[in-house]
């Protein structure tokens, strides 16, 4: 059954739906919502645990939150109105002054809810174009003309300080000067990003009867899920807005968490620091990857992909790869632009990984380290290091597996016998290397009585994937293994035919991180460009010294998070979970190029 004709106002039927974040499951890395990259503060989490469940059945009292927030803003409680998020705050301001046929002035492009404020009131929207050729500079003169030259002055002017998604804003003097000159126009300033931007008109708003400021807890305070917002302004204007605000605008839980968020000022400062660093990093590296960027003074960067098709393709690709960004191509003058929110260090790196992998020149060859990349050695070589180390320790002295294997994070520990020697030296023991090697080899290769740990190895990269890779690239192996042990692993896996060259410890005089093994592989393959896929700092350093791109692999490490941190210190092209992810990366590159053509 359809809605009867004439039941709903025609203005509502004509309104486009707001394009918010997807309602379904979102990717793991969420850089599409301008949310707090650090999440809620420790104080908020403590308040959440301590919240009295009995309050869930009671109507909430928000006076304590209003008083605490007003104190933080430097205003009186009667100059602040709490709302259920900043969207309702904007709507309330529009409802105060707008009627059918009235005029509302906004920038274009701007936050989509600004037009919504007017359209829901059947008001006319005058959108003044930003200077798209000059990083969307705010159209100060255009606004002045739209306000002063209109036959009937606009009833509402909405300005983002800064705006979303452009990140631009007029000088505060322009706002206050215009508000003083046009008392019959309400100036609504949205300061959702004020903590990042560092400029506010709150002190002027409480003195001028036609200037309102909207604020939110969704950004720097990390409470987007609790929907806390508000309006700040002259006490008489706030009192009028209160008359049309809904009763009990925020929940009791929101009050408790909002109070905790305001008290955790260090979290706000750290959020701003991390966000600004992320925006700078995103802008610099995405620009280096070939996309023009704008590092805004809010908590996001803008990226110009060149066309709406490419923006859609990039957004879709990153989404499939577990990173959400926001396509802004549907907005005026923003065809081809996407928005990437500030993330914590790990999420920012994940996003940049995908963009670097997408835009890096295609290699002629792909080289693989063997241990930890092609072969799971956690129960073979790693176990041999641990047991060899333990065999030299006095009876009763114990050492953890993690602490022994931590030495593999060092560039000079690419050889497993060297790693065992380093682990022993760390514990204060320096036995002869030949004896360490003898015990290690007995454990790994076995004896007449013991088959050896090598039998526990598992091949990690499926033959079907290797076959597809070999159809596109020349494949090679550069390993620190002796030749016989490398051949043993290849024979067991049945994949030797896919590799055109295998460089082992017996084939070169110097080992990784020296670049000679990689250079030997490149020479035999007769290529100049390649990607080196490795799981150790030695692999990455050798690749860089050889002049080729390096891709790190983390998941085979005993402590994958620590391994990722170590690998990233050497600035790889990207860090993947497993080498088997490489084929998906290459397939996505192909798909992006196809979708980018529309």
Q: Are residues 469 and 540 in the same domain?
A: yes
Domain that holds residue 451: 378-456
Q: Looking at the domain assignment, is residue 332 inside a domain? A: no
Q: Are residues 81 and 222 in the same domain?
A: yes
Q: Are residues 145 and 85 in the same domain?
A: yes
pLDDT bin (cut points 50, 70, 90) of residue 448 is: confident
Q: Are residues 87 and 217 in the same domain?
A: yes
Question: DSSP string spanning 333-353?
Answer: T-TTEEEEE---HHHHHHHHH
Domain end among 456, 476, 505 = 456
Look at residue 445 and give its three-state secondary structure: helix
Contacts of 202 (CB under 8 A, 6+ apart): 73, 74, 75, 191, 213, 232
Q: Are residues 496 and 394 in the same domain?
A: no
Q: Looking at the domain assignment, is residue 490 inside a domain? A: yes
Q: Looking at the domain assignment, is residue 286 inside a domain? A: no
Closest CA to 538 of 378, 419, 360: 419
Q: Are residues 386 and 260 in the same domain?
A: no
Q: Looking at the domain assignment, is residue 352 inside a domain? A: no
pLDDT bin (cut points 50, 70, 90) of residue 450 is: confident
Cα separation, 586 vs 592, in Å, equals: 10
Q: Looking at the domain assignment, is residue 344 inside a domain? A: no
Q: What percent of the chain has pLDDT over 70?
A: 99
What's the chain's length in residues?
Answer: 598
Alpha carbon of residue 21 to chain centroid: 15
Question: Do residues 192 and 219 touch, judged by C-beta distance below 8 A?
Answer: yes
Q: Looking at the domain assignment, is residue 194 inside a domain? A: yes
Q: Are residues 440 and 465 in the same domain?
A: no
pLDDT at 3 over 90: no
Q: Are residues 189 and 57 in the same domain?
A: yes
Cα separation, 570 vs 550, in Å, equals: 9
pLDDT at 193 over 80: yes
Q: Looking at the domain assignment, is residue 508 inside a domain? A: yes
Q: How many CB atoms lie within 10 A of CB 12?
A: 10
Q: Are residues 557 and 481 in the same domain?
A: yes
Instruction: Quote the pLDDT of residue 330.
Output: 95
**Cα 570-34-80 angle, rounded to 5 deg:** 140
Domain end among 426, 456, 486 = 456
Q: What is the pLDDT of residues 373-403, one digit of tens each?
A: 999 999 999 999 999 999 999 987 888 888 8
Cα separation, 307 vs 198, in Å, equals: 33
Backbone phi and psi for residue 571, each to the nearest 5 degrees, phi listed first: 50, 60
Q: Looking at the domain assignment, is residue 482 inside a domain? A: yes
Q: Are residues 109 and 189 in the same domain?
A: yes
pLDDT bin (cut points 50, 70, 90) of residue 10 is: confident
Q: Are residues 132 and 183 in the same domain?
A: yes
Q: Are residues 187 and 135 in the same domain?
A: yes
Query: Per the structure, how many domains does the chain have?
Result: 3
Q: What CATH number is given to the structural domain containing 480?
A: 3.40.50.1000
Q: What CATH number is given to the structural domain containing 106?
A: 3.40.640.10
Closest CA to 178 of 150, 155, 144, 209: 144
């Amino acid at each position: 059954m359809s809605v009867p004709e004439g039941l709903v106002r025609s203005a509502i039927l004509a309104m486009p739906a707001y394009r918010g974040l997807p309602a379904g499951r979102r990717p793991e890395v969420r850089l599409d919502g301008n949310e707090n990259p650090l999440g809620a503060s420790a104080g908020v989490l403590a308040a959440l645990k301590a919240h009295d469940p009995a309050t869930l059945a009671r109507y909430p009292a928000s006076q304590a939150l209003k008083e605490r927030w007003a104190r933080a803003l430097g205003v009186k409680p009667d100059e602040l109105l709490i709302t259920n998020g900043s969207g309702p705050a904007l709507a309330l301001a529009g409802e105060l002054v707008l009627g059918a046929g009235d005029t509302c002035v906004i920038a274009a492009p701007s936050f989509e809810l600004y037009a919504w404020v007017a359209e829901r009131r059947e008001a006319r929207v005058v959108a003044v174009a930003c200077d798209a050729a000059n990083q969307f500079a705010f159209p100060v003169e255009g606004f002045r003309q739209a306000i002063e030259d209109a036959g009937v002055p606009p009833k509402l002017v909405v300005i983002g300080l800064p705006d979303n998604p452009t990140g631009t804003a007029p000088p505060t003097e322009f706002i206050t000067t215009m508000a003083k000159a046009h008392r019959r126009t309400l100036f609504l300033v949205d300061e959702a990003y004020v903590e990042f931007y560092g400029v506010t008109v709150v002190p002027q708003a409480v003195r001028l009867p036609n200037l309102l400021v909207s604020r939110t807890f969704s950004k720097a305070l990390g409470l987007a899920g609790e929907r806390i917002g508000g309006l700040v302004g002259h006490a008489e204007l706030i009192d009028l807005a209160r008359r049309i605000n809904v009763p009990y605008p925020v929940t009791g839980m929101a009050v408790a968490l909002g109070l905790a968020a305001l008290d955790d000022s260090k979290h706000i400062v750290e959020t701003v620091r991390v966000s600004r660093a992320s925006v700078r990093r995103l802008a610099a590296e995405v620009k280096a990857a070939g996309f023009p960027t704008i590092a805004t003074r809010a908590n996001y960067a803008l990226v110009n992909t060149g066309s709406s098709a490419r923006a859609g393709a990039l957004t879709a690709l990153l989404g499939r790869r577990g990173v959400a960004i926001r396509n802004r191509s549907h907005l005026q003058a923003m065809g081809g632009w996407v928005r990437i929110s500030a993330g914590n260090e790990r999420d920012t790196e994940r996003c940049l990984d995908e963009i670097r992998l997408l835009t890096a020149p295609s290699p002629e060859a792909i080289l693989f380290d063997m241990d930890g990349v092609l072969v799971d050695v956690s129960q073979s070589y790693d176990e041999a290091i641990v047991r060899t180390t333990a065999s030299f320790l006095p009876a009763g002295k114990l050492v953890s597996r993690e602490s022994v294997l931590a030495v593999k994070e060092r560039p000079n520990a690419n050889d497993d016998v060297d790693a065992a020697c380093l682990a022993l030296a760390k514990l204060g023991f320096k036995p002869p290397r030949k004896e360490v090697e003898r015990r290690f080899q007995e454990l790994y290769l076995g004896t007449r009585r013991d088959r050896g740990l090598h039998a526990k190895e598992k091949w990690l990269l499926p033959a079907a994937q290797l076959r597809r890779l070999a159809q596109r690239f020349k494949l090679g192996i550069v390993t620190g293994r002796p030749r016989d042990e490398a051949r043993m692993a290849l024979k067991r896996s049945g994949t030797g035919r896919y590799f055109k060259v295998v460089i082992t410890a017996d084939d070169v005089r110097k080992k990784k991180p020296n670049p000679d093994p990689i250079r030997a592989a490149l020479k035999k393959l007769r290529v100049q460009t390649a990607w080196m896929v490795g799981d150790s700092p030695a692999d990455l350093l050798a690749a860089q010294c050889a002049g080729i791109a390096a891709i790190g692999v983390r998941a085979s490490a005993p402590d994958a998070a620590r391994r990722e941190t170590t690998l990233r210190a050497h600035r790889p092209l990207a860090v993947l979970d497993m080498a088997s992810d490489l084929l998906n990366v290459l397939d996505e590159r192909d798909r992006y190029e196809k979708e980018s053509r529309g």
